[in-house]
Structure 1
Amino acid sequence: MSWSKLKQQLESFLSPSLQGKVEYRATGYRYLPDKAGICYIAVNKKNILNMNDATTLIKWYQSEQDIKNDASIDIPISHEQIEAVRNDSHGKIPEDRLVVIARGRKISELAKELMAAQSSLSKSNFIAVANQFLSTSIEESIESKDILLNILALVDRRVGKKRIINMSEKIKLKHPVVQYFYNLRLSTF
């Protein structure tokens, strides 16, 4: 599908409150085969998410330690995760340390997911994900680990106010750019 048709379809799914605010843009380099095109999502004419660019307004993480040391990331730990640590250690670890270890494990998992998501952003990836978004259900897009699918679902008109409000806990575990678009959509109600 051509970029103009894809863009038209994506913008037709935008929430009415975000139409004219959120734009999908792309540049291509026809005569430079070694130079990849760039896609970006703009909000109010400001580039928010540049694919394959670390200078975006959203905080990009360069290492797992950056993510582990970021105090703004809230990681809820479930009772099952604490029990898994207890079972792995055969009950030899004090209770207060179990929570610290479980949190560390979860942060490591999330850090690896964030780094993988950040490194795969490009124009070709955006087009593939946008086509996937158009052919899958909105529930799958929301639950996906792919940040682009999450963003496209959050700005979609098929996602209502009640669903957006009920997602607040899950969004805390998502990439900062997904949190940005969640807050943008939340502010339109």
Structure 2
Amino acid sequence: MSSAPSVKDENIVWHQHAVDKHLRAELKHQKPAVLWFTGLSGAGKSTIAGALETRLAQLGYHTYLLDGDNVRHGLCSDLGFSEQDRRENIRRIGELSKLMADAGLIVLTAFISPHRVERQQVRDMMPDGEFIEVYVNTSLDVCESRDPKGLYKKARAGEIANFTGIDSAYEAPLEPEIDLPAGDASIDELVAQCLTALNERGIIRQ
């Protein structure tokens, strides 16, 4: 027997306002999008996303960058790093990204987001073409040699459990919209690749 509907199910509905996504985007002269940067720890997600946001701002576009560490200081400060908490972390970021895209923004996110099913769930929240998966394609060896936060060293020493790439799996995208060879190219080259892809999709107008 199914349970009775909750108060939320019965009484909370989505309110459509007169100022919509289309108008907000037109005022900004851009097309809303969510660029979802995924890759191993140390792959360069935040660095590349930050450099791309800087370039977009220089070109006059309206953006917002959501960084994995930053959101855990506020929005997701109540979450740990269990599988369940990591799934909830991605769900919250997906919902927030959707709202920011509804505001007409180009949203950049930098999260390991190791599981394909969770990235697909975020994609499914959004209209076709609005979710752009950006795979920061850096090998584990390169990431571990960089180890900017010393996390790989701690994981190898057993001080961190369930660390992606060491004792927890990372599922690389099968068909990302943008595949960045981040171990072999310069930041400028990678940003240029992203800008070309955004232009081809009509997100920006160069």
TM-score, length basis structure 2: 0.28
Q: Which has the higher contact order (CA 8 A, sep 6+)?
A: 2
TM-score, length basis structure 1: 0.30
Which structure is higher in helix share?
A: 1
